[in-house]
Structures are given as C-alpha cells and as structure tokens.
Amino acid sequence: MEEKLVPRANLRLETIEAGAIAGVSWRLRAVNAAKLLASLPKAKGILDGFQPDVLLMTGGYVNGPVAIVAWLSRVPSAIYLPDIEPGKAIKSLSRLVQRIACTAPASQKFFPTGKTEVTGYPIRPELRAATKLDKLEALAKFNFRADRPTLFVFGGSRGARSINQALIASLPQLLKKIQIIHISGTLDWLDIETNSNMLAPELRTYYRVFPYLHEEMGAAFKAADLVLARAGASMLGECPAFGLPAILVPYPYAWRYQKVNADFMVDRGAAERLDDDKLPAELSPMVISLIQDKTRLAEMSANAKDLDVPNAGDNLAKLLIGLAKRAIR
C-alpha cells in the first residue's frame, strides 16, 4: 500500500526488511530476527543520507532498526500510537524515544509518566474538509435519496471478507429499508460485483459498491448515518471527525488492538461492538434496529463528536518541531 500512497503524496519512500518477533513460530521468529539485524546497516545508510532533525515512528517491528540507529546517532525521535493499546514493538521502542504521542488519554497508562502527549488522531486534510460538506450534496454524489437512512460499510483497502459475505447475504432485507455505500476492498471485488448485478433492480437502486474510494471517501462519510467497519485505528479519528455512530467489528485473527479500540468507542457511547463470528446472524437486525432509532443515533453522534480533536495534525507537528528545535540548540 505504501508504495502507491507515499509517491502520490510526493514523498520519498525507502524500505527495509522486517518481520514480527512476537506471536509467530520460533522458526519464523528466528528468520525475522535475522532480517531485523541485517537491516541495521541499511537503516543507518538511510538516516545518514537523509540527515533528519527528528524521527517519527508509528509502530511495528520495521521501526526497530531505524530506532536503534537514531538512538545511537542521537537523532531525537518520537512514537505516535494510533491505537488505544500499544503492541510489544511500540512498548520496546518507547524506551529509545524522547516523546510518545497518543490518540487518546486512555493510552497514557502504558508509558512512563511525563513522556506522553495526547495529540488526537490526525486525518487527511481532504477528509477534514469534507466534514463541512452539505449532507444533501454528499448524498447527491452517490445519487441517493435524503429520506432514506444511509449505511457506510468498509473493511480496509483489501477488504474484510467476513463483513462482505455477511453484508451480501443481508442485502435483500437491508435494502428494503435503507441505502448502502459499500467499499468491498480489492480481494473480493469480482464476487461482490457479480452479486451486486444479481440484485433485483428495485433494490440495486439503493446500493453503491466500489473496490476502493479515495477522493470520494469524505463524501461517503458525510452521506452516512451509520458506519459498519473494522475497528482499526482510523476509526478513532474518522468517525469522531464526522460525528458518526459506528458498529465496529474487531478483526479476530490478530492481537487485541482492534477489540480494545472498539471497546474504547463503546464505553464512550459512540459505537456498538459486533464480534466477527456473530456477523451472519446479527448484522442485519443490529443495523436496522440502530439506524431506525433516531434518538439513539443522535446520542451516539454527539458522543463520537466529543472524541474529535480537529487540530490533531498540528499537535503532532508541534511536538516534532519542538524536539527538532531542542536538538539544534
């Protein structure tokens, strides 16, 4: 993904070999440890060539070699934790950095006192601008009606197969009452497109499906009354920015980050959690029950909006500039 998105933003991209150490077999752990050690010289070459004033990391074992080289070279560095709970890589690297930026205060308990700063979750400027779109204008971009509730479903750039499958099975019931914007991801696109074309014409009118959205992502958020998605870190920034209630489905085959993210939103009254194994039975009734309850939606929307930090990007930038200035003195 980075190889497509980074050049699009006119940024230089360098890569190193890396792999997870925790949560894998001992054989793979040995292979990945060797990769990380072998990447130290390349990481040093990248830093020597770029000569950064400050280094920002966002987690994952790929940051290990760069963090070690920066620490040895006395380059000031910071970690940004997008999720609520840090993984083992971030916990380990936190000892080598000067500052740790967090999305929410709930993350501060995982780190030494005085080392953290709550910046909020930065979202793309285009998404932030889309929060000011007129809802009718956003609906018009998808040729949707204003008198029908709108559900926005997505699972990440590659998609979420279990969400896609449960949604497709539920479309005949859902589309009788609501309209849906669905980003399927690239992996399931051909099957999803085939199923979409098999819908009755009167139902297909209320269904818009895409493998991926970029420029129109903001309009999709603005058009929606409810989101159904995985509980990745972006939900901690994007749903609050648009004041959108969500049904969050944590990815079940990884460490608990997404469950913790979902529970954070649920505990603050901004979301409901739906576990992956309950999707087939509960997706349709949960969506219909929630999206038709305007009082509950309004409460969840207000609670989500309370979590928004509009100047999160500026906060993170100021933290990094401050680190760089102290190093230059």
Whole-number pLDDT of residue 1: 67
Quick one: which of 136, 305, 284, 130 has its CA closest to 221? 130
Give the pLDDT of residue 229: 97
Instruction: Report pLDDT for 62.
Output: 87
pLDDT single digits (tens) 24-51: 677 887 877 788 888 899 999 999 999 9
Domains along the sequence of the chain with CATH = 2-120+311-328 (3.40.50.2000), 126-306 (3.40.50.2000)
Weakly modelled stretches of the chain, pLDDT under 70: 1, 22-24, 156-159, 328-329
Give the pLDDT confidence of 245-258 residue by residue, as tens digits. Answer: 999 999 998 778 99
Say how far apart CA 313 and CA 324 lie, in whole Å.
17
pLDDT score for 157: 56
The residues near 254 (Cβ < 8 Å, ≥ 6 apart) are none
Handedness of CA 176, 305, 158, 33 (dihedral sign): negative
Beta carbons within 10 angstroms of residue 228's beta carbon: 28
Q: Give residues with Cβ within 8 angstroms of 54, minimum separation 6.
A: 75, 76, 77, 78, 320, 321, 323, 324, 327
**163 in helix, strand or coil?**
helix
Reported residue count of the chain is: 329
Give the pLDDT confidence score for residue 122 in this predicted structure.
Answer: 98
Number of H helices, E strands in the chain: 16, 10
